[in-house]
Each structure stands twice: as C-alpha cells, then as structure tokens.
Amino acid sequence: MTTSQNTALAGDQPDDDSIVDLEPTQSLELASAGSFSTRAGGGVALVDGSWRSLRSETHDLRRNRLTSAALFMAVVSAVLLIWSFFNGTSMHWVITAMMGLRLVVASTVAGLLLSKLPISTDRVRLMEYGLFGLMAVLIAVTQYVVDVEFLRRGDVLAAATYMKNGVIGMIVLMVLYGTFIPNDTRTAATVILTMALVPIVSFALLMEAEHPDLVEELEGMRGGEHAGSNALSLMIGAGLAIYGAHILNGLRKDLHNARKYGQYQLGQQLGVGGMGEVYMAEHQLLKRPCALKLIKPGAVSDPIALARFEREVKSAARLSHPNTIAIYDYGHTDDGTFYYVMEYLPGLSLQDLVTQYGPMPPGRLIFLLRQVCAGLAEAHSLGIIHRDLKPANLFVALRGGEADVAKVLDFGLVKLTGDPDAPELTTDQTVSGTPTFMSPEQATGDSALDPRTDVYSLGAIAYFALTGQPPFKGSTPMAVMIAHARDPVVPPSQINESVPADLEQVVLRCLAKKPEDRYSNVKALSKDLAACQASHEWNEERAEEWWRKLVQPIPGPAEAAAEAAAVS
C-alpha cells in the first residue's frame, strides 16, 4: 500500500483550499511486504499472506535491538581502546588486545545485522548469545590476566580495584541485555545469571589456580570485603536486569494485545486525517488484510464529527457496487473509540497517479471514470450524494487479479437526498467539500443538491487528470469558489493539445455552471464517455501491462521462508 493510498484512506491529502478539515496532515510509509514490492521510483506494495504475529514482531525487534547493542559495544570498545593507548601500564598490551577483540566481535555482529541479507530467527538468536557470551568471556579473561599481573607486583589494591571494574562492566552488560533484547523472563534470567557467574568463576579459578608465589596476596582477596561485595553486586545487578526484562516484555505483550479492536489486530499506521487515523489491520480468524479507521478521541466530543463518521460508515455500508469501497465492520471500544473496517486497496489514488506520472491518457481516464460512474450510479439511486469527489477520493487499485479497478472512497460528507429527515452535518453558513473540485451550487451554499453536483466534480477531476491542474485556481479558497460560480473554464485542450475534441466536450458539459446544462445523471455521462473515440485506447490488458512495469514480483511467504532457511 502506498503513501498515496494511505492518505486517501485517511481522508485526503492536505490542501489549502479545503473548508471542512477532513484532510490528513501526515502520512507514514508502509514497508512493502508480501508477494510484490516497489521498483525504483514506483510506489506500490501488494500484501499477501497472514499478518505479523507477536513472534514475527519479536524477531524484527530482536534484530534491531541487537544491532543497537552491538553498535553500542563497538563504540564503547573503540573509546576504551583509544584510552588504553594513553594509559601507561606494563600490562596495557593485554587490555589493548582484549579491547581490540571486543571491537572486532561487536563490529562484525553489527555489520551482519545491518546488511540486507535475510537472517533466520535461529541465526539472530545465535548471534545474540554469541555476542553477549564472547563479551562476558573477554571481560573475565582480561580480569584474570590483569589481576595476576597486579598480584605478582604485590599490588593487592590495584588487583581488587580492577576486579571491581570488571564487575561493573559485567553489570552494564547484563543491564544492556535485559533492557535491549526482547525475551521472556525465563530466557532473560538464564542468560543474565550465566553472565553474572562468569566473573565469579574467573575469581574462583584465580583462587584455585596454582600460583605458589601469590599465596599471601590471594588470601587477602578471599574475604567478604572483596569477594563477598563483588558477588553481591553481581547478584543485585542481575536481579535488576531480569526485572527490567520482565517489565519490558510484559509491556510489549500488552502493547501487542492493546492494538486489537474486536477481532482485528492493528498493524502499521497508514495515515492521519482530520477526523481519524487509518491503520493496516488483519482479522484474527479470517486472516484477511484490511484497513481500520479510528475516529480521533478528541472528535468524539464533537457531535458533528461523530455524526459524519457514523454517516460515512452507514452510507458506504449500504453500497455493494464493486467500484465503491467495501465496509466490513463497525464498532467502538470500551474506552469509547469508534472505528470501522474497510477493504485494503493496493494501488494509487488518482491524485498521486497524476502527480507522479503526469497527465493521464484520454483512454485510461475514460476507462476509470466509467467505473466511477457505475459506482456513483448505485449511490445516487439510493439517494446518496457524495459531495466531496476529488482525485484523492478516487482510487486506482489492483483488485481480484484485475488492474485499474476504480474505487470511490470517503463518504463523510454525503447528503442523503432520499431521506428528508436526515440532519445536515454542517454548521450554518459553512460550506462543505473541497473548493478545488466543488460545484457552483456547493460554493454558493445551495442546500438543494442532487446528483448533478457530483457530475460537476467528476468534470473537474477529469480536467485535472487530462491537464495536471484543476479547472480553477485562486490565492484563497473563497477565490476558487467564486471562480467556480462565475468564471468560464479554459478548455483543457488549450493546456494539453492531446485532449480529443469529443472528450473535451464531455468534460466541459460536466463543468457547466447551471445544473440543468450538465448531464442529468452519471449513467448519461458514462454513455457519452463510451462514445468517445479514445474509449477503445485503454483496456484490461493495457492496464495490466502498465502496472507490471511499476511493480515486480518477489518471493511469496513460503518461498521467502525457504530462502531464509537456506541462507541460515
């Protein structure tokens, strides 16, 4: 799913000429997944397979956190290595060598994890154990060798001090593991306690090793002042690290469970709009990818915003045409958050299609607009007027094995002409819609709207698709609305010479100032579009060819798993 679709689902892209703030203010990239990915310069990602489980989320998080931990260790090792060069002690070569080994190990692990090579869960886990295990062993070896050297000098205080430094280093390593690496409490406790035992084992070996020349010095380090305090410090550090791992793992599970709405598990955020937020989601039983729209908590207190949200759901849910966005579910959580679930559409909005690839070929525009007309025909027959048609609310999707499937989105500003008792969802003297594609009667605040207002908006959309610019511009939204109501439109052929004359006449008729001069309904518009000579220039085969150049297949879930296993 592309950024353009994400924002379209959230409401639309932000523009300055919007009076009613239903426009998104932010969009987030969705990482491509499944059986298709984007080519360079493209923007389409198709999703296939089941949604991410807690296990798969943990794998990705473990890889990212392990990368951060390895980079942290590499930086610290480099700093200490540089410091050792300026620390003039007779055994500095030991410290330098151990620091160098730590730097090599941490840098190697970080490099492997930062590469784009697929790494299996078991391999990442092995690298985790290897990194922290080697670091713990190198700390212990350094501590042993340096302490022996200090004791042979007769400097018990220096040996005890360096041993304390080793204990501090091990505590830092344990806390780093407990806070950075996602694990269940048992696994974290096993690894952390093992690391805590390494300095103790090192000290025991030092005590039990045959150093007849160090008997007196070793006896001085056996007491509670040295050995006892170090062991206690290690156990306290291990306890804190295990407790931290336990708390963080619980919070991670709580967050995963909190992202469920009914039977739907939330995924990545797709867009943020004036009314709500849109997330990728999956039904937990059906394993069907979908888009879930939440109304913002602050909007719940706004009765007009909440009524629009509910009307959008109920209006779209009444429609069954394949060229209208499908609504799967609707509800609210215990905390009062309203949401509804709609179909997930891979593809591009008409807005982004024109913005990214330039004016649309006439044949393709006709191919898409006729589908839009078919979807709107059902809505109009049920007394539903969209009132906010614009390029960002028309989506060009890949759906059911077909390319260039047009979908009408966002019914938040519908007018229910078939229900005379339906309340108006705009305040007095407020104009609803997007001025750039608004009909003259909308601009003047006429409440007697009918399907011809959507016909005008379709004409404005067609103008934009053919020329790359809207029919009217202005420095302010009011100036644009005045132009819609008063100024003659410049024929699109004067901007784009390739616009056919017959198609231009259809567009200009849609853009007539008076509703009675336009097409009386979208079916009549679709009929004239079909009569244009360019209508035969675009079909399903050409659409598939265009999309095939934009997206490229990559291994599906089974193939990707097999490939990852082979690499591991």
Q: Domain ranges in the chain? A: 3-51+262-344, 54-258
pLDDT tens digits for 330-368?
877 666 677 888 888 888 999 999 999 999 999 999 999
In b/e form, how buried is each residue of 428-441, taking b as 16+ CB within 10 angstroms? eeebbbbbbbbbbb
Share of the chain above pLDDT 90, in %: 33
pLDDT of residue 282: 84
> In the predicted model, is pLDDT for residue 259 greater than 60?
no
In 3D space, the residue among 188, 196, 75, 193 whose CA is nearest the CA of residue 128 turns out to be 188
pLDDT tens digits for 406-458?
999 877 545 544 444 444 444 433 445 678 899 999 888 876 788 999 999 99
- Identify how many contiguous H helices and E strands the chain contains and give both numbers: 18, 14
Assigned token pair, 84: 């050792």
In 3D space, the residue among 167, 168, 186, 182 whose CA is nearest the CA of residue 69 turns out to be 182
How distant is the alpha carbon of residue 101 from its chain centre?
Answer: 38
Phi and psi at residue 420, to the nearest 5°: -65, -20
How distant is the alpha carbon of residue 304 from its chain centre?
Answer: 29
Say which amino acid occupies 299: A
| 293 annotated ligand-binding residue | yes
Return d(Cα 65, Cα 40) in angstroms, integer. Answer: 28
- pLDDT classification of 376: cutoffs 50, 70, 90: very high
Considering the entire predicted model, what is its pTM?
A: 0.57
Fold of 3-51+262-344: Phosphorylase Kinase; domain 1 (3.30.200)
> In the predicted model, is pLDDT for residue 486 greater than 60?
yes
Return d(Cα 37, Cα 554) in angstroms, integer. Answer: 7
Assigned token pair, 212: 């007849």
Q: How many other CB atoms sit within 10 Å of the CB of residue 162?
A: 19
93 exposed, middle or buried (CB, 10 Å; 0-12, 13-18, 19+)? exposed
Q: How many other CB atoms sit within 10 Å of the CB of residue 85?
A: 11
Which of 55-64, 101-110, 557-566 shows the highest mean pLDDT?
A: 101-110
Average pLDDT, the chain: 77
Return d(Cα 216, Cα 430) in angstroms, integer. Answer: 92
In 3D space, the residue among 310, 300, 432 whose CA is nearest the CA of residue 21 turns out to be 432
pLDDT tens digits for 189-243?
999 999 888 888 777 766 665 565 555 556 656 555 666 777 888 889 899 999 9
pLDDT of residue 55: 65
Query: Cβ(544)–Cβ(550) under 8 Å?
Result: no
pLDDT of residue 21: 33
In 3D space, the residue among 141, 192, 131, 134 whose CA is nearest the CA of residue 166 turns out to be 141
Neighbouring-strand partners of residue 282? 265, 289
pLDDT of residue 225: 60
